A and B are shown apart, each in its own frame.
Chain A
Amino acid sequence: MKYAFYPGCSMEVNAAAYDVSMRAVAKVLDMELAEIDDWNCCGATEYFSQDELTACSVVARNLAIAEGESNQLVASCAACYCNLAKVDKLMSEDAEMKQKINEALSAGQLKYKGGVRVRHLLDVICSDIGEEKIKEKVVRPLTGLRIAPYYGCQAVRPISIGDCTEYPMQMDHLFEWLGAEVVDYPVKAHCCGGHMPQISEEQAFELQRRLLQSAVDYDADMILCMCPMCQLNLDAYQPRVNGMFGTNFKMPILYFTQLVGIAFGLEPKAVGFGKELVAGLPVLKKKLEAVSA
């Protein structure tokens, strides 16, 4: 199956592990992710509160480019997904905004008609590929590994990727198919702090402490993310959180695609292990005999 793919800014550097694992998993699953040509920034979070029309037009440019290539546009980052889906929805519901945005796009000989369905990678894997095909590809079941599925906010709010807004389950199901022990992670859709570490470390780190503490309380071996922002916050700031609260968290924060890759028999290095700051490989080796062997 062929999808238009929007990588977003994170995938090249700080989420390189997500990028490499996603591509490796896509290959196993025969998913063709065709990166759209000359894409630009999704506007992230801040731009929308500054100047809505400009922010929307920036996003719509990506939709317009994708429209020429496929009727489905996949994003791997939850924030990118959210912005693309939001603008697509806005343009389908608000004719006046649609006209204004298209006016702006016409400067670059572009126009978005509204024919693209914005998807998140997790939903594509769970809904389009599905249980049967995924189970077929498992060569190294994740038996014994306790994972905490972490969805964060933007994948389910305000426009859900296709899962329950209040208590999403797609990643839970996916990792059950792969043989892992999925902990019922009660804070799975709570906030990671977003860009708050730049504004107020105290508040941001408290949010992160809750997420890490809950994973510890549930005896999880690792937290799996579907958003580069979430991964960065929980991974990079973990020592600072420990410093602020006197805790001793050593929780690996990995991308869900990395563990899908491991289950598919790929080597840890091939799915980006080692790029995270709190090392994931030791836990993996301890829990999965097949990896250490």
Chain B
Amino acid sequence: MAERVGVYICHCGSNIAGTVDVEEVARWAGENIKDVVVSKDYKFMCSSLGQAMIEEDIKKEKLTRVVVGACSPHLHEKTFRTACKNAGLNPYLFDMTNLREHVSWVCNDKEAGTAKAKALIAGSAERVKYQQPLEPSYVDVHPATLVVGGGITGLQAALELADAGHPVYLVERSPSVGGHMAQFDKTFPTLDCSACILTPKMSEAGQHENITMLTYSELEEVSGSVGKFKVKIRKKARYVVEKDCTGCGICMEKCPRKIVDEDFEAGLGYRKAIYTPFPQAVPRTPVIDVENCTYFQRGKCKVCSKVCPTNAIDYEQQDEIIEIDVGNIILATGWKLFDCKKVPQYGYGRLANVYTNMEFERLCNAAGPTGGKIVMRDGKTEPKSVAIIHCVGSRDVNHNAHCSAVCCMAALKFGHLILEKTNAEVYSFYIDMRTNQKQYEEFYQRLLEEGMHFVRGKVAEVTDAARNPDEQGKLIVQCEDTLLGKQRRIPVDMVVLMGAIEPQADAKELGLKCGISCSMAGWYTERHPKLDPVATMTEGVFVAGTCQGAKDIPACVAQGAAAAARVQGMITKGKVMIEPIVASINEEACSGCRICNNLCPYNAIEFDPVKETSHVISSMCKGCGTCVAACPAGVITGAHFNNQQIFAQIDGVLWDAKPAGGNGGAAAKAAEPEPVAS
């Protein structure tokens, strides 16, 4: 029996109708494509009226297949599948043609656009006839969640979930949670003490009955899929037994080896070879830095072991692999600072009194290496003038195109702190002042009133080459002041570079482990930039905070909470639908060559050593089709993407290129002797 196909062409307002003659496409499809019994166009097919029209036609016209030509399936495939289902048609007997992203948005010739739309619709209409009814399956959602990254974003996500009663594994790669926020002095624009608002959250997470905190640990491997991920975590050897350590700190006090702390103190302070990054660290258990420990390097010392009152030091400790089951994963892996040495004309690393923003945070911090005194590298002289240079590595075609979002406000904060703590003049060299969140513009006004100087222009260079006696011994900031329209040279004592927020160096690698992708720059890609900012294209994997893009603390906290809310929804629902679009292996014809086993990116193919054949674990299969293409015997079929369906679609797309009078399409040759439409 011939299928009865309904074709629906959406105007999408003028989005599609502007460059495609939608009425003509609908008319043409109705008159020219075999088995099409209804063909209509409509202003907004995704509206409830549009959906109702399709549902009504399915019932009234007894449609057995539906094609909608509209926007991307990412947006509305689900909508129309549901409409089909509501009308009693299996949702997989529907196909969606992308006439917007694939035609109207990439085309400005209406005639050509209309022709392409016709070809794509013909492809869908031919393909849909060979589609088969499929039934989704459901898996239970494991109630535990993995949160990767213990900065403010990860802490927020973990606490939200834990407070709601769900178990959380919080994995952090450094020895303590807290992230960059723990390094800051004040937060803008309220000037709250950063540590004072952060540390309560850190200790709450550390003590929470529902949170298993795994610090000094890294994500090793992720397998499985939404609802039932299996995760391997490498817990690096601390050489201190956590359950025995009381965190008294005697070992750190007595350790004879002092080294420059390049991480927490940004190179301005020191730590011991056995250390916690900072006094309020959570957990309080220190770690031994093997690279710098005298015992590990020379075989002698063991001072920490001798002084430890609870014998918690264990030099023989090994890395441990912990395997856990979780239903969902939240990545909150944060950012790294731009290497300011990449802008050599600003002199960082060459001119002593040029600082990075992170160095300056430590310099301002009362718990920092100078006790919060703003002094120059000599450790005692207070600067009489400070220049703050914005956009170092941001908004720069040579480095990062993006705006780092926080630097303008951080620069204003620095300005305030310098004016408060010293008698210095403060100059801000900015390109555009970006203060567009709540109370931010007001803070800018406050700094204008406090007397911070603002020079609009990109700094050409920071140099110590003086041209006159006034410049002697100073750092001279050379800049075109674009408001005055002239070059200025401003001699200062200290320069602070507002280095860009960059994606973590290993973001791509970690993303791959979790099956999500990064933008070219290295930010994790969200499912939808506006409407689904914390979900990803992989079900059950969420992203939050600066790993998704540069943002400030309030935005990070909001995203951490948002990701937690999404996960809670999954847990509350308890079950998650698994798409039936999966591969299957005809085991009778399988030769057991195992080529597919290693190619599967989701480890969804298992080999049965008794039968000597492979089979697909359908709950883990994502339907990518790699194995289908690779099987040398051609015995793997991808549901919803079988050869017959694809060849029929090709035939349809090439409707005007067919040999005259023949229906000798490839689809006919590809499979069953079902008659093929012309």
Residues of A within 8 A of B (CB): 164, 166-167, 169, 184, 186-187, 210, 213-214, 217
From A166, A167, A169, A217, contact of B465 by CB (8 A): A217
Minimum CB–CB distance for A206 against chain B, Å:
9
Q: A169–B467 Cα gap in the complex (Å)?
A: 23
Contacts of B422 in A (CB 8 A): none
> Of the candidates A167, A187, A213, which one forms a contact with B344 in the assembled complex, judged by CB atoms under 8 Å apart?
A167
CB under 8 Å from chain A, chain B span 290-310: none
The answer to whether B344 touches A186, judged by C-beta atoms less than 8 angstroms apart, is: no
Contact B345 A187 (CB under 8 A): no
B466, CB-defined interface residue at 8 Å: yes
| Least Cβ–Cβ distance between A171 and chain B, in angstroms | 14
Which residues of chain A have C-beta atoms less than 8 A from B345's C-beta? 166-167
Q: Is B350 an interface residue (CB 8 A)?
A: yes
Give the contacts of B458-510 with A (CB-CB under 8 A): 461, 463-467
Closest to A166 in B: B345
Which among A166, A167, A186 has the greatest number of chain B C-beta atoms within 10 A?
A: A186
Contact of A210 (CB < 8 Å), options: B461, B464, B465: B465
Q: Which of B343, B347, B350, B465 contacts A187 (CB 8 A)?
A: B465
B466 partner, pick from A164, A166, A217, beta carbons under 8 A: A217
Q: What's the count of A-B pairs with C-beta under 8 Å?
A: 23
Q: How far is the CA of A214 from the CA of B350 in the complex (A)?
A: 16
Q: Report, nearest first, the 9 A-B pairs whose CB atoms are least far apart.
A: A167-B344, A166-B345, A186-B465, A214-B465, A186-B463, A187-B465, A167-B345, A166-B344, A210-B467
Using CB atoms and an 8 Å cutoff, list the residues of chain B in contact with chain A: 343-345, 347, 350, 461, 463-467
Chain B residues in 8 Å Cβ range of A210:
465, 467
Compute how far the CA of A167 lies from the CA of B344 in the bound complex, rounded to whole angstroms.
6
15 further interface pairs, Cβ-Cβ under 8 Å (given A186-B465, A213-B465, A217-B465): A164-B344, A166-B344, A166-B345, A166-B461, A167-B344, A169-B344, A184-B350, A186-B463, A186-B464, A187-B463, A187-B465, A210-B465, A213-B467, A214-B465, A217-B466
Residues on the B chain within 8 Å of A167, using CB:
344-345
Main SS at interface, chain A: loop
CA distance A210 to B568 in the complex (A): 66
Chain A, residue nearest B460 (CB): A166
Q: Which of A164, A166, A187, A217 has the most CB of B within 10 A?
A: A166
Closest to A167 in B: B344
Question: What's the nearest-Cβ distance from chain A to residue B91, in Å?
Answer: 52
Q: List 23 A-B contacts (CB under 8 A).
A: A164-B344, A166-B343, A166-B344, A166-B345, A166-B461, A167-B344, A167-B345, A169-B344, A184-B350, A186-B347, A186-B463, A186-B464, A186-B465, A187-B463, A187-B465, A210-B465, A210-B467, A213-B465, A213-B466, A213-B467, A214-B465, A217-B465, A217-B466
Tell me the complex Cα distance, A164–B398, Å: 11
CA distance A164 to B347 in the complex (A): 13
Q: Which residue of B lies closest to A188 (CB)?
A: B465
B344 contact set on A, CB distance < 8 A: 164, 166-167, 169
Chain B residues in 8 Å Cβ range of A166: 343-345, 461
- The chain B residue with its CB closest to the CB of A211 is B465
Closest residue on chain A to residue B341 by CB atoms: A167
Closest B residue, CB atoms, query A210: B467
Chain B residues whose C-beta falls within 8 Å of the C-beta of A217 in the assembled complex: 465-466
Residue in A closest to B342 when the chains form the complex, CB atoms: A164
Whole-angstrom distance between the alpha carbons of A167 and B349 in the complex?
13
A164 to B344, CA, bound (A): 9
CB contacts (< 8 Å) of B461 on chain A: these are 166
Could you say which residues of chain A place their CB within 8 Å of the CB of B466? 213, 217
Q: How far is the CA of A213 from the CA of B343 in the complex (A)?
A: 25
A217-B468 Cα distance, complex, nearest whole Å:
12
Residue of A nearest to B472 (CB): A217
Chain A residue numbers with a CB within 8 Å of B465 are 186-187, 210, 213-214, 217
C-alpha spacing A240/B402, complex, angstroms: 49
For the complex formed, measure the closest distance between the CB of A102 and the CB atoms of chain B, giving whole angstroms: 32
A217 to B463 CA separation, bound complex (whole angstroms): 13
Instruction: Give the distance to chain B from A118, nearest Cβ to Cβ, in Å.
Output: 22
What is the CA–CA distance of A164 and B341 in the complex, to the nearest angstrom? 12
